[in-house]
Amino acid sequence: MISMQLLTSGVIFGLSLGSIFFLMTIGLSLCFGLMRIISLDQLLYYSVGAYITFSVSALLGNIWLGVLAGAIVAGASALVVERIVFRRIYDRDLPFTMITSFGVLIGGVGVIKYFWGLVPRPVGEPIVARVDILGTDIPVYRLVIVAIAALVYIGIWLFLNRTIIGKAIRAGTEDVEHVEGLGINVYRLFTITFVIAGALSGLAGGLYAPLIMVDPNMGLDVLAFVFMVVIIGGLGSIKGTLISSFLVGQVVSIGSLVYAPLAQMAPFAIMLLILLIKPTGLFGSQMLKR
Amino acid sequence: MAAMSFVRWWWGLLLAFALVALVRVFLPLPFANEIIIFSIYTMGCNYLLGRIGLISFGQPAYLAVGAYAAAFYLFYFGNNPYVGILIGIAAGFLVSLAIGPLFVRLRGDYFALVNLALSVIIFYLMQKVLAGITHGDNGLWFLTNLASTPVLDLSRPDQFFIFGFLVAFVIWAFFKYLDDSIFGACCLATKLNEDKVKFLGYSSFNIRLTAFVIANTTTALAGAMYAVYLGFVSPEITSPARAADPVVVTILGGVGTLYGPLVGSIVYTGMKDVLSKVFGNWELVIGFVLVFIMLAGEKGIWGSLQPLLEKMVLRVTGKTAERGGSGQ
Amino acid sequence: MTNTDDILTVSGLNVAYGESKALFDIAMDVRACQVVACVGRNGAGKSTLLKSIAGFLKPTSGTIISDGASLVGMSAFAVAGKGIKYIPQDKKVFSDLTVQENLELGSYASQDYDWAPVFDYFPKLKILIDRKAGHLSGGERQMLMIGRAILGGPKLLLVDEPTEGLAPSIVMHLRDVFKELAKKTALVVVEQNLPLVCAIADKVYALKEGRIMAELTGRASITPEACEQYL
């Protein structure tokens, strides 16, 4: 059997992984909810965040500044893409926007290869301290990631429930035409949501960079996990995204302790099982307007 | 009269394949073979998207199923490429029949994502989990295993081209036949309004499942042909970066048009060869081309050319306007 | 032709859903503080007309002019920003938001934070202020939708089948509200309930199969019988 120590570190590892998944998928979920698009290019902003973290931290020597810059640049690239590409195609069918976003993703990977080359780049860990939890040595940085994800969740919750823009986004998730009918510029809401999503994906990339190697295909590497999270949780549901992020995080982490290939296969099996019972995921809504 | 309509039914098909034969004369053989296989590969995706309205980002998964099934046979058990291809088809049929009932129940967006996930999972499966059998990233090499076969020797690229040409022709004729059948009408109706199809007494589930199995079996056939032609299969065939290949080609050629996959394959393979030599950055090129096509209009190359060609044909023959049954 | 008193002038309006045409050469005008009713059977194009004016549908040809500016090609939110508010038929409020939040959105859009007029018309909303809008009854939802729309003092309200499926007492209440509203704002009401139409309308357009069949002006000529013959 697995020792207690392995299990504890596995759970913590799963929590931090789940946090990264959550940061990446919450944007996807918001975009789907409000704009009814599946924005595969979020995976690009994730890579952008990681690469900017790499470059800025190499330049300034401070990884936290790098992460911050990563999130900002990711948000800015999301803004550019939204203005040039998505603004024109919001009213098209879902497959249409999805294909387009895949084009952005692939093209963006090409841009990254152009600037940074093919060689994987390392990013140092900003916190090297370790802490003892239940007799297990745990890197503090992983706990910090979990804390940051928790803060982001609280921040998003406050934004959606306490600010008028957030309320308009919630209303738009239900029926975007009615929001427009009130006289609210929904395209501005779209832009705001898209930029927030991009920045959060960039934050995820920046935070995850020290734990992996930064390489051009890193977005494509997590692609399967991100979509399994989104599908299990149900498209457009923030609560579902939160729950399934941590579920998949744990399954990957604990699963790989038991038998390495389980890390990839187990979430997929769970996804198929959930779809068998509920074809729209745990918290996805049955109806889809537009 | 019947003969006339028969001729009109087929002329496009014959013309298209005359073009392919012409390509063979002017362009190198690997390019021609690539086009043939790629267009068969895209046919399935084109059918799902154009006729059922299901976008599948997971076609590489079924390509890999066909390719690996053929490869396992040719590497471990036998050496007859024809048998390998048949096994590839059978594997594609069985796999899509097994997962189809679960997948086709899903809403369009979930369908696209789940297929994408499937293709990544198959990638991991072949690269890591089954590495003992598949030799992981090194892939399975069996080119020298292939036995020479009578009539058309598939181990020789020039004869493989003739074989591929014939197979593609049969596949095209088959999809053309489907388009004109009741089933084709049901597919289109399912795409447009699922509820009304149900009221008519057809099961939209069965229609989707049948289309799903047909499309993916076709894709598996293409996979098996790749395996035989290259004499080599590696997980690269289903890597996430290539997930969009068939979708891109479908869009390039024009969704739902019968000759779209052929036109798209020629353009795509050509671009891949030429542009990646010039720029050396394949993703950059294909990403921007894709976004550009999507913004310019979703009809694609063939979809935009088709009305023009029809007008030209009409002017030449001077017939009154009746749009040919080319499936738009 | 265009009267300076008109706050809305529509002429030669053609609208199509893809290949199928829904409206043919519609011409109508609405003056300030006028109540205009559109009657007609289901599928006559009444809702299409309102949606086109509100900017949700793009006409294939024709003009829609309000205060000298063309509304054609404007986004729906911009039309609403000009004080032309559309109240759709579906009675869908933002069910996950409270009544207060629903009103806040109306205030945010119009920059009018004075809710007193809303509560004057619909005192009930004040009681329900913290209730999730999804838990409201059909009548209460309609009140909320109208309340949300009148914030900012619109110059024209486009109301689509406001009384459909509501209890008679609420219909009476809405009738009084519309009469009261008409003192300050113009209304275009699509309505099947002919007695209500006759009680409030200054002008009636009868639509059939996408065309205006008749225009009745003046209180005297607007009777249920007169409207009936065009249905």
For chain B, what is the mean pLDDT?
79
Is C77's CB within 8 Å of A174's CB?
A: no
Residue A272 is predicted with a pLDDT of 85
Residues 6+ apart with CB under 8 A from C23: C13, C14, C15, C45, C48, C49, C52, C59, C210, C211
Residue C51 falls within a domain, yes or no?
yes
> Which of A110, A114, A279 is the closest to B110 by Cβ?
A279
- How far apart are the C-alpha atoms of A267 and B164, rounded to whole Å? 39
Top-confidence residue, C33 or A68: A68
Q: What is the pLDDT of residues B106-122, one digit of tens each?
A: 877 788 888 888 888 88
From residue C187, alpha-carbon distances to B291, C31, C65 in Å are: 45, 9, 16
* Secondary structure of residue B255 in the 3-state scheme: coil
Smallest Cα–Cα separation from C118: which of C159, C158, C97, C146?
Answer: C146
Smallest Cα–Cα separation from A171: which of C105, C109, B32?
Answer: C105
- How far apart are the C-alpha atoms of B255 and B218, rounded to whole Å? 17
Is A178's CB within 8 Å of C56's CB?
A: no
Residues 6+ apart with CB under 8 A from A25: A226, A229, A230, A233, A241, A245
Is C77's CB within 8 Å of A175's CB?
A: no
Residue B94 is predicted with a pLDDT of 94
Give the range of the structural domain holding residue C221, as residue numbers without chain letter.
6-88+156-228
Residue B322 is predicted with a pLDDT of 43
Residue B322 falls within a domain, yes or no?
no
DSSP A40: T
Burial of residue A59 (CB within 10 Å: 0-12, 13-18, 19+) is exposed
- Residues C85/C109, Cβ–Cβ less than 8 Å: no
DSSP lists the bridge partners of residue C187 as: C35, C157
DSSP A261: T
Residue C174 falls within a domain, yes or no?
yes
- With CA atoms as reference, the chain C residue closest to A174 would be C94
> Which of C54, C87, C97 is the closest to A170 by Cβ?
C97
- Residues B287/A110, Cβ–Cβ less than 8 Å: yes
- How far apart are the C-alpha atoms of A46 and A118, rounded to whole Å? 17
To the nearest whole angstrom, how far is the Cα of B281 from the nearest Cα of chain A?
A: 6
Is A180's CB within 8 Å of C85's CB?
A: no
- Residues B211/B48, Cβ–Cβ less than 8 Å: yes
Residue B297 is predicted with a pLDDT of 65
Is A103's CB within 8 Å of B124's CB?
A: no
- How far apart are the C-alpha atoms of A70 and A205, rounded to whole Å? 8
Q: How many domains does chain B have?
A: 1
Residue B231 falls within a domain, yes or no?
yes
User: Is B29 a residue whose pLDDT tops 80?
Assistant: no
Burial per residue of A71-93, b for 16 or more beta-carbon CB atoms within 10 angstroms, e otherwise:
bbbbbbbbbebbeebbeebbebe
- How far apart are the C-alpha atoms of B124 and B128, rounded to whole Å? 5
| End-to-end CA separation in angstroms for chain B | 24
Residue B299 is predicted with a pLDDT of 62
Is A183's CB within 8 Å of C77's CB?
A: yes
Give the dihedral sign, CA B307/B308/B313/B319: positive
DSSP lists the bridge partners of residue C217 as: C203
Is B106's CB within 8 Å of A100's CB?
A: no
- How far apart are the C-alpha atoms of B29 and B164, rounded to whole Å? 12
Residue A16 is predicted with a pLDDT of 92
Query: What angle do the packed helices B108-124 and A262-277 form, to 10 degrees?
Result: 160
Residue A149 is predicted with a pLDDT of 93
DSSP lists the bridge partners of residue B140 as: B233
Residue B186 falls within a domain, yes or no?
yes
Average pLDDT, integer, range C175-201: 89
Q: How many CA atoms lie within 13 A of B127 on its CB side?
A: 16
From residue B308, alpha-carbon distances to B303, B313, C45 in Å are: 10, 9, 36
What count of other Cβ atoms lies within 10 Å of the Cβ of residue B108? Answer: 17
User: Is B138 a residue whose pLDDT tops 90?
Assistant: no
Average pLDDT, integer, range C39-62: 88
Residue B274 falls within a domain, yes or no?
no
Residue A87 is predicted with a pLDDT of 84
Residue B315 falls within a domain, yes or no?
no
| End-to-end CA separation in angstroms for chain A | 51
Dihedral-angle region of residue A61 (phi above 0 means left; psi in -120 to 50 means alpha; beta otherwise): left
To the nearest whole angstrom, how far is the Cα of A39 from the nearest Cα of chain B?
A: 11
Is C109's CB within 8 Å of A183's CB?
A: yes
Give the range of the structural domain holding residue A119, as residue numbers without chain letter.
19-216
Helices (H), chain C: 46-54, 76-81, 99-110, 116-121, 123-127, 138-150, 168-181, 194-200, 224-228
- With CA atoms as reference, the chain A residue closest to C149 would be A182
User: Is B304 a residue whose pLDDT tops 50?
Assistant: yes
- How far apart are the C-alpha atoms of C76 and C82, rounded to whole Å? 10
Write out the residues of chain A at the interface with chain C, using a CB-CB cutoff of 8 A: 164, 167-168, 170-171, 173-175, 177-187
Predicted interface score ipTM higher than 0.90: no
Q: What is the pLDDT of residues B230-285, one digit of tens each?
A: 888 888 888 777 777 888 788 777 777 777 787 788 888 877 777 777 777 777 87
Residue B95 is predicted with a pLDDT of 92
- Scanning A83-112 for CB atoms below 8 A from B yields 85, 88-89, 92, 94-96, 98-100, 102-111
User: Is C165 a residue whose pLDDT tops 90?
Assistant: no
Q: What is the pLDDT of residues C174-186, one digit of tens each?
A: 999 998 898 889 9
Secondary-structure breakdown of chain B: helix, strand, coil percentages, each rounded to the nearest 5: 80, 0, 20
From residue A258, alpha-carbon distances to A16, A251, A252, A255 in Å are: 19, 10, 10, 5
Task: Suggest the residue from A84, A91, A227 to mutate for an interface test with chain B (most B CBs closer than 10 A).
Answer: A227
Is residue B275 less than 8 Å (CB to CB) from chain A? no
- How far apart are the C-alpha atoms of B305 and B16, rounded to whole Å? 14
- How far apart are the C-alpha atoms of C117 and A241, rounded to whole Å? 41
From residue C7, alpha-carbon distances to B11, C13, C30 in Å are: 60, 17, 6
Residue C139 falls within a domain, yes or no?
no
- How far apart are the C-alpha atoms of A197 and C111, rounded to whole Å? 28
For chain C, what is the mean pLDDT?
87
- With CA atoms as reference, the chain A residue closest to C50 would be A181
Q: How many domains does chain C have?
A: 1
| A71-75, B13-17, B35-39, C44-48: least confident range | B13-17
Is A181's CB within 8 Å of C56's CB?
A: yes
Residue A4 falls within a domain, yes or no?
no
Residue C132 falls within a domain, yes or no?
no
Name residue, tokens 């040919």.
B324
From residue B20, alpha-carbon distances to A288, B13, B26, B35, C30 in Å are: 43, 11, 10, 9, 64
Give the range of the structural domain holding residue B79, as residue numbers without chain letter.
8-240
DSSP lists the bridge partners of residue C188 as: C36, C158
Residue B183 falls within a domain, yes or no?
yes
- With CA atoms as reference, the chain C residue closest to A168 would be C105
Residue C34 falls within a domain, yes or no?
yes
DSSP C159: E
CATH of the domain at C173: 3.40.50.300
Q: How many domains does chain A have?
A: 1
Which chain A residues contact residue C146 at CB under 8 A? none
Instruction: Give chain A's residues under pLDDT 70.
Output: 1-2, 285-290
Residue A128 falls within a domain, yes or no?
yes
Q: What is the pLDDT of residues B66-125, one digit of tens each?
A: 999 988 888 888 888 888 889 999 999 999 999 888 888 887 778 888 888 888 888 888
- How far apart are the C-alpha atoms of A101 and A219, rounded to whole Å? 13
